[in-house]
């Protein structure tokens, strides 16, 4: 109930019993404070505050000492605790990472055992698993949390894969996932604090974590092939469809950014043979303007997420240093590369380019081409006119229409 503008929950002390196939208690009864404390997931979460005496009550006799020493321990034997409710494994990991506490050795053995992993897969809904993972990724120690999941051999239980996929995932792929996440996390913190919003940071970390899986696919209805990252986010974690779409878009866009980074970082021109996307749109554009045109199209596609896609591409970009084992130097080189490319994009006047309205409309194209209706040809010429507009940022609608007439005239002659 709401008392004095404050929501208060009233719960009774209780004792619980569980069945083998559910984390929902099969039997609940009134319990003593001690019974209630021992049914908690962790000793640090089993402390009571007595509002009558103004004192903290520790019925497990170790909650306060574990809190002071920074230990993650279950009140009862860990395997029995986890088999009753396997979600407690992920909660133990999340609290351990969040507070930078040490996981108890017996707890780690129990969490990694086959029975507990099977129970986690069978008894816990994917939504609950996804919620815990989301809290870890959005928390203050996402790398530590994912490392715990990896160390406890829970990675593929949590990030469940479809029954069939190709190519085969190599041994140790999960460690590579953690390595990309670690670099992304450190890079985010090296960059200016205002570079990313909380949601952009969250998406960047998911995209980095699943980067080694971006080329692994599975088959869905009608023989359609989809990246397994889509399955992990939508089915294994039951996150929003939009999350999956954004992460896949970031993976695809990072490959495009990767081809533009050398030119953006050095102000050199771009040859059409240097890229394998949108080549048809830049054949008629001068070499000096090609980088601006392609980067402009990419940013119009990504909108506010372009810096996140740039971050992911920087993770993939090879760094030229003498000592490849110097992780700090590599990280600072990547930070410098990000800042250089970001500055180049801003210098090209492309920040917020997705808000720029086209100089001509589909109706203008139909008039010039003397078409009675729309279709693929109108769409193609609208894209070409946007390429002209990006190559000629000070151009006017009249100049764009003149260019369209001339370009169409050349096309007619060639045909």
Q: What is the pLDDT of residues 268-296, one digit of tens each?
A: 766 656 676 677 777 777 878 889 999 99
The per-residue pLDDT for range 138-156, each reduced to its tens digit, is: 999 999 999 999 999 999 9
User: CA 326, CA 192: separation in Å to the nearest integer?
Assistant: 22
Report pLDDT for 211: 97
Distances (CA, A) of 247 to 234, 251, 261: 11, 6, 20
Q: Which residues pair with 30 in a beta bridge?
A: 14
pLDDT, mean of residues 172-190: 96
Average pLDDT over residues 185-210: 94
The whole-number pLDDT of residue 25 equals 66
**What is the reported pLDDT for 282?**
76
Average pLDDT over residues 336-350: 95
Confidence at residue 227, expressed as pLDDT on a 0 to 100 scale: 95
With H, G, I as helix, E, B as strand and everything else as coil, classify residue 50. Answer: strand
Whole-model pTM: value is 0.89
**Angstrom distances, CA of residue 167 to CA of 156, 216, 218, 245:** 16, 6, 9, 21
Ramachandran angles phi, psi of 47, nearest 5°: -85, 140
Residue 385 binned pLDDT confidence (cut-offs 50, 70, 90): very high
Give me the chain's average pLDDT, please.
90
pLDDT exceeds cutoff 80 at 130: yes
Residue 18 has pLDDT above 80, yes or no: no
Tens digit of each residue's pLDDT (9 = 90 or more) over 59-87: 999 999 999 999 999 999 999 999 989 99
Write down how long the chain is. 415
How far, in Å, CA of 221 to CA of 226, rounded? 10
In DSSP terms, 227 is beta-bridged to 217
């Amino acid at each position: 109930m709401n008392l004095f503008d404050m929501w208060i929950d009233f719960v009774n002390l209780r004792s619980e019993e569980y069945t083998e196939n559910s984390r929902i208690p099969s039997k609940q009864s009134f319990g003593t404070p001690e019974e209630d404390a021992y049914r908690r997931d962790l000793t640090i979460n089993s402390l009571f505050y007595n509002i009558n005496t103004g004192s903290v009550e520790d019925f497990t006799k170790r909650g306060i000492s574990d809190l002071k020493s920074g230990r993650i321990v279950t009140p009862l034997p860990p395997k029995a605790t986890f088999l009753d409710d396997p979600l407690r494994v992920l909660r133990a990991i999340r609290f351990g990472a969040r507070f930078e506490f040490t996981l108890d050795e017996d707890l780690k053995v129990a969490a990694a055992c086959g029975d507990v992993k099977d129970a986690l897969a069978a008894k816990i809904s994917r939504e609950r698993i996804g919620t815990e993972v989301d809290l870890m990724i959005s928390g203050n120690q996402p790398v530590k949390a994912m490392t715990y999941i990896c160390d406890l051999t829970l990675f593929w239980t949590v990030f469940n894969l479809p029954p069939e996929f190709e190519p085969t995932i190599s041994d140790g792929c999960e460690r590579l996932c953690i390595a990309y996440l670690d670099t992304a996390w450190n890079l985010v913190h090296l960059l200016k604090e205002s570079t990313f919003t909380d949601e952009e940071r969250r998406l960047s970390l998911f995209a980095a974590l699943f980067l080694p899986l971006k080329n692994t696919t599975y088959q869905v209805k009608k023989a359609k092939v989809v990246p397994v990252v889509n399955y992990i986010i939508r089915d294994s974690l039951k996150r929003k469809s939009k999350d999956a779409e954004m992460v896949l878009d970031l993976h695809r866009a990072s490959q495009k950014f990767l081809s533009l980074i050398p030119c953006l970082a050095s102000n050199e021109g771009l040859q059409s043979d240097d890229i394998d996307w949108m080549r048809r749109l830049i054949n008629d554009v001068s070499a000096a303007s090609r980088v601006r045109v392609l980067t402009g199209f990419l940013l119009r596609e990504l909108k506010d997420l372009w810096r996140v896609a740039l971050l992911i591409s920087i993770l993939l970009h090879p760094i030229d240093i003498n000592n490849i084992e110097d992780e700090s130097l590599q990280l600072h080189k990547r930070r410098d590369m990000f800042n250089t490319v970001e500055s180049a994009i801003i210098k090209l006047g492309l920040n917020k380019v997705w808000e720029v309205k086209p100089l001509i409309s589909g109706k203008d194209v139909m008039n010039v081409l003397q078409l009675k209706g729309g279709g693929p040809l109108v769409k193609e010429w609208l894209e070409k006119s946007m390429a002209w507009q990006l190559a000629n940022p000070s151009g006017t609608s009249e100049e764009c229409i003149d260019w369209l007439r001339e370009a169409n005239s050349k096309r007619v002659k060639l045909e």
